[in-house]
Structure 1
Amino acid sequence: MTERQLSGHIRPAESPESPVKDLSCEKGNFTRHPPMYDEGSVPWGDTGYVSLRIDGTAFEYGDTAQITLTNTSDSTLTLGLKYMYQIELLTEDGWQDVRGQTGDDEFQYVDMGTEAAPGEVFEWSLRLTEDGVVPGEKDFTVCPELVSGRYRFVYWTATPVAVAFDLQK
Structure 2
Amino acid sequence: MERTRRDLLATGAATFTVAGSVGVAGCLDFAAGDGPQGPEGTPETLTCEDESFVRLDRPFDGAVDGTVVEAGGTRFELSAEGFSETYGQSIRLVLRNTGDEPARALGEYAYSIQRETGEGWLDVRGSTTGEGVEFPQTEESFGPNDAYSWTVDLDEESIATAVPDLDLTVCPPLGPGPYRFVYWGIVDGPPIGSEFELIG
Q: TM-score range by the shorter chain?
A: 0.7 to 0.9
- Work out which of the residue numbers 83, 86, 91 in structure 2 matches 1:57: 83
- Work out which of the residue numbers 131, 146, 155 in structure 1 matches 2:183: 155
Check if 1:30 corresponds to 2:30: no
Q: Which residue of 2 aligns with 1:47?
A: 69
Check if 1:92 corresponds to 2:115: no
CA RMSD of aligned residues (A): 1.6
- Work out which of the residue numbers 163, 168, 176 in structure 2 matches 1:136: 163
Aligned counterparts of 1:162 and 1:66: Cα–Cα separation in 2: 13
Consecutive aligned runs of 4 or more in structure 1 exceeding 4 Å deviation: none
Q: Following TM superposition, by how much is the alpha carbon of 1:85 offset from its aligned partner in structure 2, in angstroms? A: 0.6
Question: C-alpha deviations, 1:42-99, integer Å up to 9, x for none?
Answer: 1110112211111011000011110100001101211011011100000111100000
- Can you give the 5+ residue segments of structure 1 that lack an aligned partner in the other structure? 1-16
Identity of matched residues, %: 32
- Give the TM-score taking structure 2 as reference length: 0.71
Letter in 1 for 2:183: Y
Question: Structure 1 or 2: larger helix share?
Answer: 2
SS at match of 1:28: coil
SS at match of 2:156: coil
- Can you give the 5+ residue segments of structure 2 that lack an aligned partner in the other structure? 1-39
Check if 1:116 corresponds to 2:142: yes
Q: Which residue of 2 aligns with 1:145?
A: 173
Question: Structure 1 or 2: larger strand share?
Answer: 1
Contact 1:53 1:68 in 2 (8 A): yes
Letter in 2 for 1:140: L
